[in-house]
Amino acid sequence: MRQGNGPADKASRSPGDAIVTYKAGRHFLQIPGPTNVPDRVLRAMDMPTMDHRGPEFQEMAKRVLTGIRTIFQTKNPVVIYPGSGTGAWEAALVNTLSPGDLVLMYETGHFASLWKKLAERLGLRTEFIAGDWRHGADAAAIGERLKADSGHEIKAVCVVHNETSTGCVTPVGDVRKAIDAAGHPALLLVDTISSLGSVDYRHDEWGVDVTVGGSQKGLMLPPGLSFNALSDKAIAAQASAKLPRSYWAWDEMLAMNPNGFFPSTPATNLLYGLDAAIEMLHEEGLGNVFARHQRHAAATRAAVEAWGLEVLCADPAQHSGALTAVLMPDGKGADALRKVILERFDMSLGAGLSKLADKIFRIGHLGDYNDLTLIGTLGGVEMGLQVAGVAHKAGGVQAAMAVLAQSGAAEARQAAE
């Protein structure tokens, strides 16, 4: 059994085991989430659980419930669940829709497909606009479909902002415009799980009705919390939505949250962490956070290009700031490469999912992350390509350094403004 700096007290647990091997240095967790949780967040969570009905909790919860709105860039309520992002997908649907309702979804990749499957399990009908897993959702195509739906059978449009399986970003504002241009009343539900706190996302400005988020990506928390940001229209939709719901129901949340309380026991210690994370994102400044991610993504793409490899996302305007998916050259398996990199360089990369399995690897460069860790990450990929015997040109790290040395985060942001 091999062990890095994993949870303590595991050593020699089973007397019969082989000797545990401490592995020196920090693991590089470069999957596109969960991300590297900063010490400040972990330490904030490492405090005594408090009475979730008492005044100290109340004060903290009010601060968190207000603060989280700023991250979604909304003035409306954000509902916080103990649960994974999948749960928040479910919440978005059950609070707004009725059995048999038709939902228009867009096949941006694996996670869009999972959301579709979830919708079907809940008794919704779904329609999928086919995609090639190399682009974000096509707002025009959505608009066309809605225009054709003169009877307004479609009750909601669901898109994934940052498709974690491909690294392509959907222009959510354009989707909104397409819906409006079609004069269609469908709700707009958006998954921003892997972009929240990493890639610019504007719940209010873009007119999103329900935004689905998770804690374990740009929010820099461990997994275990998920979110629904709401529009007034979404809140109103509860009244007619007939899907059965209780745990995910917004009504009691919205009734109790203003006082700093929750209908069922909240995940107190994760809320401590969220409190710290919101504060940290504001200290850096959301604009700086987004610029940092764009800069790291650009450096990563420069490395991929130098290696002579191809970035999966085919539209330069849609490259994700949070992760970069890289196509393997013909005939080489991505999973063998990832295994070499894990075992030899102690770095976890994201795998290709479903139809992309073994065809791509994904480099997560989101969350609590900086230039030198990115260089280490890209160094691990470049050395891994060499050790695994994958055809490539050297010089990827060098190319990335050129990008990073050219301008710091501050300059990068200034330039972007």
User: CA angle 195-288-72, nearest 5°?
Assistant: 40
Q: What are φ and ψ of residue 80, in 5° steps?
A: -115, 125
CB under 8 A: which stretch of 31-39, 71-79, 177-185, 201-209 binds a copy of itself?
A: 31-39
User: Which CB atom, from 139 or from 381, has the smaller least distance to a copy of itself?
Assistant: 381
Is the torsion defined by CA of 66, 72, 78, 79 positive or negative?
negative
Task: Determine the size of the site formed for a copy of itself (CB under 8 A).
Answer: 129
User: Which CB atom, from 57 or from 206, has the smaller least distance to a copy of itself?
Assistant: 57
Residue of the chain from 138, 163, 191, 371 that contacts a copy of itself (CB under 8 A): 371
Determine if residue 43 is labeled as part of a ligand binding site: no
CB under 8 A: which stretch of 131-139, 170-178, 228-236, 394-402 binds a copy of itself?
A: 394-402
Looking up tokens 């009750």 gives 155
Least Å distance, CB 255 to a copy of itself, is: 14
| 40 touching a copy of itself, by CB under 8 A | yes
Residue of the chain from 58, 66, 238, 269 that contacts a copy of itself (CB under 8 A): 269
Helices (H) and strands (E) in the chain, counts: 14, 16
* Among 270, 368, 277, residue whose Cα is nearest residue 47: 270
| 35 touching a copy of itself, by CB under 8 A | yes
User: Would you state the structure tokens that stand for residue 316, as one six-digit string?
Assistant: 């330069």
**Long-range CB contact pairs, 371-375, < 8 A, 24+:** 371/296, 371/404, 373/28, 373/36, 374/296, 374/299, 374/300, 374/400, 374/404, 375/400, 375/401, 375/404
Residues 272-301 that bind a copy of itself (CB under 8 A): 272, 275-276, 279-281, 283-284, 289, 292
Residues 121-160 that bind a copy of itself (CB under 8 A): 121-123
Least Å distance, CB 138 to a copy of itself, is: 27
CB under 8 A: which stretch of 148-156, 173-181, 233-241, 397-405 binds a copy of itself?
A: 397-405
Residues 81-110 that bind a copy of itself (CB under 8 A): 81-87, 89-90, 99
| 189 touching a copy of itself, by CB under 8 A | no
| 37 touching a copy of itself, by CB under 8 A | yes
Q: How far apart are CA 380 and CA 339, in angstroms?
A: 12
Least Å distance, CB 209 to a copy of itself, is: 20
Known binding-site residue numbers: 362
- Binding site for substrate, residues? 362
